Amino acid sequence: MIKILDFSPYYPPRIGGMEKYAGELHENLAKKNCQITAFVPLIPKSAQKLETKPGITIVRYPACEVISNYPLPCFWQKEFWRQRKKLSQDKYDIVTSTVRFFVQPIMACFFAKKHKIPLLHIEHGSDFVKHTFLVSLIAKTFDKTIGHFILSKADQLIAPSQSAANFIKLLSGRKAPVIYRGMPFKEIDAVPPENNLRRQFPDKKIIVYMGRLIYGKGIIHLLEAVRLLNRSDIVLLVVGEGPERKKLEEYAREYNLTKQIIFPGSVPFSEAISILKISDIFVNPSYNEGLPTSVLEAGTCKKAIIATNVGGTPEIITHNKSGIIIEPYDTEAIRNSIEKLIDDPKLRDTLGKNAREEIEQKFNWENSANAYLKEINSLLKK
């Protein structure tokens, strides 16, 4: 049995692509005779401090978000150090960390070096953070110092997409094998569509955005596109939560679009899938991405996708075959693509079916877990 200690920045039940990736990866490695201990922030506060599943132990330490979407361990609390000390009393074969941009990979690095255990780092990022000039400058400085340190000190790097591998090469000069994530096809297929919601909009095409409501997702361009379309036969569901929500809601009110642009908030996984299943078009207008889970989920649900040409998105869908890929920041391209799909149901159906086929071929957890095990075993033999 291989004993793994993981330092993920976020973990289920928090909703998001990175945490869902970690949870599913651990579940699939546990099926391969691995024992995983996930040392993760207690976010949300309603999560259990200690949780056990077959092959997985989840230890959640006190943490806060002084900066939105940045989980900071409460180093000043005795409870954190009590839990941290207990980790040192157990023996592990390997330490894993995720995304260089957080405190948790630094924690993983020091733990691994102290206990002389190999460190495997999974880097989802595929570009420098894009935000305001000052935030982008600070983020880039962080990447070129702390981020570079983390990538250089890991014994092995893994990229979940080719775009992430390219970024690792740019930032650290190191090569990383690409191991795509899998998708829970059976679980998604078993979720029924949200027909009650569908019946609320009987004569409208439903457009969906799903993800965090943060600046880097470019959601404002989608709202602008809906305003410019000026069509009464569409409704936009902006599913998710985040610091940009207030600004987006104010935009909808300013242009009298509150009945056409709806904010359901953050919803559990099964509810998110049920909403995707009643949608006609899915749009992901991000400025940057790793390998966007929401695009994978929309494609798995056979939905027509419009997404920006960033990160690993072109590795999920093929332009004009299984989706429409546009450049970021281009409101007019979003508008034109939505109108094209609204007026062509046959094209929507074809793109959706092709997206499902492409995803099934590439994103398989059985293959991914075996590839991870190969990398882990190679590290343990060194």
**Rounded CA gap, 44 and 13, in Å?**
7
Containing structural domain, residue 294: 185-362
Question: 203 with 346, same domain?
Answer: yes
Question: 193 with 334, same domain?
Answer: yes
Residue 85: both structure tokens together: 């000390």
Question: 225 with 300, same domain?
Answer: yes
**Rounded CA gap, 344 and 156, in Å?**
47
Question: 298 with 190, same domain?
Answer: yes
Question: 137 with 258, same domain?
Answer: no
Domain count, the chain: 2
Question: 82 with 133, same domain?
Answer: yes
Question: 41 with 137, same domain?
Answer: yes
Residue 250: both structure tokens together: 């104010």
**Rounded CA gap, 1 and 342, in Å?**
52
One digit per residue, the tens of pLDDT, for the chain of length 382 reads 999 999 999 999 998 889 999 999 999 999 999 999 999 999 999 999 999 999 999 999 999 998 888 899 999 999 999 999 999 999 999 999 999 989 999 999 999 999 999 999 999 988 887 777 887 888 889 889 999 999 999 999 999 999 999 999 999 999 999 999 999 999 999 999 999 999 999 999 999 999 999 999 999 999 999 999 999 999 999 999 999 999 999 999 999 999 999 999 999 999 999 999 999 999 999 998 989 999 999 999 999 999 999 999 999 999 999 999 999 999 999 999 999 999 999 999 999 999 999 999 999 999 999 999 999 999 998 7
Question: 150 with 189, same domain?
Answer: no
Alpha carbon of residue 149 to chain centroid: 23
Question: 291 with 317, same domain?
Answer: yes
What Å distances lie between residue 164 and 129, 171, 179, 344, CA to CA? Answer: 13, 10, 10, 34
Question: 91 with 228, same domain?
Answer: no
* CATH code of 356's domain: 3.40.50.2000
What is the layout of strands, in order, in the sheet containing 304-308? 261-265, 234-239, 205-210, 281-284, 304-308, 324-326
Question: 149 with 14, same domain?
Answer: yes
Q: What is the largest CA-CA distance in the chain?
A: 63
